């Protein structure tokens, strides 16, 4: 089993956008290891921007974002990328799939960056998650998949390596009810089994209801 989830400690965080505008301002936010937290709020409230910060996908942040002992704000971009690859599974709002690869290849894409010894486990994890999400025909190129199918590939990719942290932006948005429910069960099964920390942006009440805690964002702040 992989290590359990990482705790998060955000301190005096400011994310600055173009023209110097503050997009996200968080004086303090702590999430326990293994906690499942929902983030909700109106469009433009800063939810996706906060996920980007937590994933270390921007250099325009100030303050502290500690995952365990590691402050990703103070890491250079290549070290942030390595930390992300080692510890995080991310579901982006627009999925970011490799269009010319099949579902299986996309779900196991991190294998390209792993050692030979790690590749088999990652491919196995990808197959397991694709099956758990009910996706068949995994040898087909993803550019021919529907929105919901693409979403399932993106989620399988995020979960394949059993990361210590899962960050997801609207993971159930394109899914029918049954598939959405399956995804929610899958996320919680991971958390209950190996204690992953989960932070999910969503408007889906069924998903939010299952989280340990739901935070509301407004104007770049948690209210």
Ligand X SMILES: Nc1ncnc2c1ncn2[C@@H]1O[C@H](COP(=O)(O)OP(=O)(O)OP(=O)(O)O)[C@@H](O)[C@H]1O
* The binder of ligand X chosen from 1, 20, 43, 115 (CB under 6 A): 43
- Is the CA virtual torsion 99, 203, 8, 57 positive or negative? positive
Do you know the residue count of the chain? 223
- Do strands 213-218 and 61-67 pair parallel, antiparallel, or not at all (unpaired)? unpaired
Q: Which residue is nearest to ligand X (CB)?
A: 17
**Least Å from the CB of residue 59 to ligand X:** 12
User: 76 Cβ partners below 8 Å, 6+ apart?
Assistant: none
62 binds ligand X (CB under 6 A): no
- E strand segments, 99-194: 165-169
The stretch among 39-47, 122-130, 181-189, 190-198 that binds ligand X (CB under 6 A) is 39-47
The stretch among 36-44, 78-86, 115-123, 148-156 that binds ligand X (CB under 6 A) is 36-44
Give SS3 for 136. Answer: coil
* The binder of ligand X chosen from 4, 7, 17, 32 (CB under 6 A): 17
Strand order through the sheet with 165-169: 88-91, 165-169, 197-201, 36-41, 213-218, 221-222
**Least Å from the CB of residue 48 to ligand X:** 3
49 binds ligand X (CB under 6 A): yes
Strand partners, 104: none
45 binds ligand X (CB under 6 A): yes
Which chain residues interact with ligand X by CB under 6 A? 17-18, 21, 23, 41, 43-49
């Amino acid at each position: 089993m992989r290590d359990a989830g990482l705790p998060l400690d955000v301190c005096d965080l400011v994310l600055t956008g173009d023209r110097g505008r503050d997009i996200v301002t968080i004086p303090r936010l702590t999430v326990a290891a293994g906690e499942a937290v929902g983030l909700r709020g109106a469009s433009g409230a800063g939810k996706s921007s906060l996920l980007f910060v937590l994933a270390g996908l921007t250099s325009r942040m100030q303050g502290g974002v500690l995952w365990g002992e590691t402050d990703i704000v103070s890491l250079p971009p290549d070290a942030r990328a390595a930390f992300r690859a080692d510890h995080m599974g991310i579901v982006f709002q627009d999925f970011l799939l490799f269009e010319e690869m099949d579902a299986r290849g996309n779900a196991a894409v991190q294998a390209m960056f792993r050692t030979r010894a790690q590749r088999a486990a990652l491919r196995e994890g990808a197959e397991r998650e694709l099956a758990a999400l009910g996706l068949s025909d995994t040898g087909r190129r993803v550019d021919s998949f529907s929105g919901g199918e693409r979403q399932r590939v993106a989620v399988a990719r995020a979960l394949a390596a059993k990361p210590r942290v899962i960050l997801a932006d609207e993971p159930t948005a394109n899914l029918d009810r049954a598939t959405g429910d399956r995804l929610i069960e899958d996320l919680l099964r991971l958390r209950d089994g190996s204690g992953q920390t989960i932070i999910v942006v969503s408007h889906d009440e069924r998903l939010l209801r299952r989280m340990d805690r739901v935070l509301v964002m407004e104007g770049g702040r948690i209210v």
